[in-house]
Chain A
Amino acid sequence: MAKTYDYLFKLLLIGDSGVGKTCVLFRFSEDAFNSTFISTIGIDFKIRTIDMDGKKIKLQIWDTAGQERFRTITTAYYRGAMGIMLVYDITNEKSFDNIKNWIRNIEENASADVEKMLLGNKCELEDRRAVSKERGEQLAIEYGIKFMEISAKNSINVEEAFFTLARDIRTKTEKKLEASNPSKGNHQLKATEPSKKQPNWLQRCSLI
Chain B
Amino acid sequence: MNSPERETMQVPGQPSVGVELFSQNGVVMRNQASRSNEDVCPGTLRIVQYSSGKCFEWHPAVSVSSEEGDWAVVSKNDSNSDDTISFDVTRIKEYRVHPKNKRKIVFTLRDPREIYGAVFQTDSVDSLVAYIRQFYRTRRSTRDHHTYKIIEERTERTIQKSFCDLEFDFTRGKSSNPADSVRRLIRDFRQKPIQTALESAAKIADLYRYENGALSSETPEILSHSEESVSIADEYQIVSPTIKLPPREILSRGNPLSYEQWLQFHDAQGRITNSELVKKIIYQGGISSKLRADVWKYLLGYLPWEATTAEQIEIRNSKEKEYNRMKLQWQMVTPAQEARFSDFRDRKSLIEKDVNRCDRSLDFYAGENNSNLKSLHNILMTYIMYNFDLGYVQGMSDLLAPILFIMNNEVDAFWCFSAFMDKVASNFDVDQAGSKRQLLHLHELLSVMDPKFAEYLKNLEPGYLFCFRWLLVIFKREFSYDDTMTIWEAFWTGIPGPNFHLFVGLAILDTEKSAIMDSHSNFAETLKHINELAMKIDVNSTLSKADAIYRQLLAAEVSLPDPIRTILGLEPLQKEPNPLSDSESDAEDAPNSSPGHCNNGLSQSFNDDQFDIDTAIMLNYM
Q: Identify the B interface with A (CB < 8 A).
A: 346, 349-350, 353-354, 357-361, 366, 393-395, 397-398, 428, 430-432, 435-436, 460-462, 465, 468-469, 472-473, 477, 520, 522-525, 527-528, 531, 619, 621-622
A-B contacts, CB under 8 A, total: 94
In the complex, what residues of B have CB within 8 A of residue A94's CB?
346, 349
A76–B524 contact, CB under 8 A? no
A67–B394 contact, CB under 8 A? yes
B527–A44 contact, CB under 8 A? yes
In the complex, what residues of B have CB within 8 A of residue A109's CB?
621
The chain A residue sitting closest to B362, CB to CB, is: A36
A76–B350 contact, CB under 8 A? no
A69–B430 contact, CB under 8 A? yes
The chain A residue sitting closest to B354, CB to CB, is: A39
The chain B residue sitting closest to A199, CB to CB, is: B461
Query: Beyond A67-B393, A76-B619, A77-B621: 19 further Cβ-contacts under 8 Å?
Result: A17-B353, A17-B354, A37-B357, A38-B357, A39-B353, A39-B358, A39-B397, A42-B465, A43-B468, A45-B527, A65-B394, A67-B350, A69-B394, A72-B622, A76-B622, A201-B523, A202-B522, A204-B520, A204-B522
User: CB < 8 Å: which of A36, A41, A67, A78 contacts B361?
Assistant: A36
Interface assignment of A29: CB less than 8 Å from any CB of chain B: no
User: Number of A residues contacting the other chain (C-beta, 8 Å)?
Assistant: 32
Q: Given A18-B353, A69-B430, is A201 in contact with B524 using a C-beta cutoff of 8 Å?
A: yes
Contact with B along A75-102 (1 / 0, CB 8 A): 1111100000000000000100000000
B473–A77 contact, CB under 8 A? no
The chain A residue sitting closest to B462, CB to CB, is: A76
Q: Given A45-B524, A45-B528, A67-B393, is A38 in contact with B621 using a C-beta cutoff of 8 Å?
A: no
A205–B465 contact, CB under 8 A? no
In the complex, what residues of B have CB within 8 A of residue A60's CB?
524
Q: Please, how many angstroms separate the alpha-carbon atoms of A14 and B349 in the complex?
A: 18
Within A158-194, which residues are at the interface with B (CB < 8 Å)?
A: none
The chain B residue sitting closest to A37, CB to CB, is: B357
A72–B431 contact, CB under 8 A? yes
B394–A17 contact, CB under 8 A? yes
In the complex, what residues of B have CB within 8 A of residue A67's CB?
350, 393-394
The chain A residue sitting closest to B528, CB to CB, is: A45
B432–A43 contact, CB under 8 A? no
Of the A-B pairs whose beta carbons lie under 8 Å apart in the complex, a sample of 13, sorted by A's number, is A17-B353, A36-B357, A38-B477, A39-B353, A41-B472, A41-B473, A69-B428, A72-B622, A73-B432, A73-B435, A76-B622, A109-B621, A201-B522
In the complex, what residues of B have CB within 8 A of residue A44's CB?
527, 531
In the complex, what residues of A have CB within 8 A of residue B522's CB?
200-202, 204-205
Chain B nearest Cβ from A77, distance in angstroms: 7
In the complex, what residues of B have CB within 8 A of residue A77's CB?
462, 621
A73–B468 contact, CB under 8 A? yes
In the complex, what residues of B have CB within 8 A of residue A18's CB?
349-350, 353
Chain A nearest Cβ from B262, distance in angstroms: 33
Q: Please, how many angstroms separate the alpha-carbon atoms of A60 and B523 in the complex?
A: 13
Chain B nearest Cβ from A168, distance in angstroms: 23
Q: Please, how many angstroms separate the alpha-carbon atoms of A27 and B486 in the complex?
A: 35
Q: Given A42-B472, A204-B522, is A76 in contact with B527 using a C-beta cutoff of 8 Å?
A: no
Contact with B along A12-43 (1 / 0, CB 8 A): 00000110000000000000000011110111
